[in-house]
Structure formats: C-alpha cells, structure tokens
Structure 1
C-alpha cells in the first residue's frame, strides 16, 4: 500500500501502487481491512485504491460521512471480476452494496429536510404574509354585435322614371330615315329601279335628318342657352 501520489489524487486516498485507465467502485469496506485488501490486490496484479465513503444530501448538497465510517474500494474496471473474487475470498462481509432505502422513506426524509430549511429561514427572516387585497379590475368591454345580428337596413333605390314619349315629328323623321335606308339597300323590293331607289333613298334620309336637326335647334332655343349649337 502506498500513499497518494501524482495528479488527481484526492484527500484521504490510498492506493496499492498500480494504476489503471478506468476505475470501478467495487464496494464499501471496513477501514481496518482496507489496507490488507490493497496488498492482496497488488499481489494479484490488480490496480486498486481506497477513498473515504461519503453521502451527499439531496437538497443541501452537503457531504457527510456514513456511520460507521467506511472506505470505498475502487478497482481496475477491466479486472473488476477478478477483484471481486479476491475481496469475497478474504472478507466476511456480503458483496452486495449497502441497501438503498425505499423510495417512500427517501421522499419522507427529503420532505423533512425541506421543512427544516424553511423553518430555519422563517425563524431568521420572519414569515412573509401577503395580505389579500381586493382587485380593482376594469369591467370587460361590451361584446361586439355580430354581423348576422345587424338590422336589415339595406338601401332601396327609388323606382326609375318613365321613358320619354317621342314627339310625332321625331317619330315621322325616324320612319323617313328607315324608309330611305330600305330604298338605298334594296330598291327592287318595292318595285323601283336602282337609280330611282338611290335618288329617293338619299332624299328620304336627308329629309329625316333635317327634321331631327331642326327639332334640336328648336329645343336649344327654348332652353335659353346661348352656347354653341351643333
């Protein structure tokens, strides 16, 4: 057995002079037989070291030593089966690790520890009591009326005005223009020659247009507008 040496050696660590790349925690042993186990493992060519076993509290993360104190035996991970055989052969303790308390007990212990921390904080700083104040929230805005619930107030246009009635002179002028068009297009339909139909058709169209233009002049003069007259 040798004392800690080299980098990475923790406080209270003791090894058997052999080194390994990876370590495996084999079991917790009595400190009185730990050094003897290191010598046995060194004789078997198995790297091992001892380190004080510690427990970490779940909430405070404080480190404490178990009661009774024990050493944790670490061995070469590649030779953990051979190391377990050597340790089992020279110790009377069972190879199984320390029993883990049931989860319900652990939860109870954690709750008790948390309650103790809260009680200590309240004893030091006093208990903070928040008085319930009435809330003065503004009333919610009124709900908007749905489009489907809106009143049926659509616009109804007035009835259209009646169509203007043509004056007899304008009606005769249109009939004259229509007759002239027939004489120009198909004079033979009415028993006339093409030349005679052309002359009569042009005369009828010119006469009808003249009547319409004259009526437009009369209407403009009645309105009293001195603007341009077409």
Structure 2
C-alpha cells in the first residue's frame, strides 16, 4: 500500500519500512517525495508537532503570503537599466585592456649589454702556499712512502703540513675592528 494512502500517518512521520524491514522501497520514497511537494503550498490544518511543543498563543498566522502579490516591499527604489550605473556608450574594462599601451612608442629599445664584470681578486701567494701545504699533507698522510723517510717521520711531517697550512689560512683572516657593522641581534631580549 503506498504511503500517501495511509490516513493514520501525519506529514512529520518518516516513511514506513519496506518489505525487507529496514528500508523503504523506491516506490515508497517517490510517493513520499510527491506527497511532500504536493503539500508544499497547502496551509497546515492539523497539528504535526508533539503536544508539549505548542506555539505560544498570539494573533493567528496570516492565511496568505506575507507580502503583496507584486513581491516583497523593499526600502529602496526599483533598479532600471544596468545595476552597475554604466551607460551603454561607456567603454568597458575589456575595451580599456585592448587599448592598453597604445600610446607607447613603437620602436624597440636597444639590446641590453651588461657592463663588463669586475676583475677577479688576486689570490695572495701565502694563501696558495697554505692550501698546497694542506693538500700535500693529506696526500702524505695517506701514503707515507712518498718521502724517503721512516713512516713515523712522514706521518709527523704530514700532520705538520696540514696544521701549518690551516693555521696560515686562519691567521690570514681579516680581524674585525670597531668600524665593522655588527650583524643584527636576533636573539631574545630579556
């Protein structure tokens, strides 16, 4: 039996279960949807809510629509024409984009020629000797037979070359003086 023929059922009740006992059949769903759509504009004549949830007593609800038949009353004049306030003869944004840059000269600028790079700084002779000393020290450290000395003497000479070259490079670093700008302090300020 379709759901619309059930006189005991109020509009707020859900569809009754179908033949499987836990879900409605597609025909029942379609019939319930058609009943809801058909009853959309009809005023309520029966109470569809529980008795404890009665609306407060007051003036009766209007029977018809709340606004006049012409539509809702708004506190502004009716719009006529283009709502943006643009007259038909005004150019649009697209017209402005089409003419963008039309007043610029047509000649192409000369090709950019970058300035010549500055010359590379000269590497001091002491820095070259220090780096070569470190490289020779590492080579001698891993192959102590390159020199005609005892392995222990060659190892000691390799360590002296590595440490001496590193010390020479560190000593060549420019010391900071009072004129140098200090980096900004990014630490926490208490």
- Shorter-chain TM-score: which interval? 0.3 to 0.5
Q: Which has the higher helix share?
A: 1
User: Max radius of gyration: which structure?
Assistant: 1
TM-score by length of 2: 0.36
Q: Which has the higher strand share?
A: 1
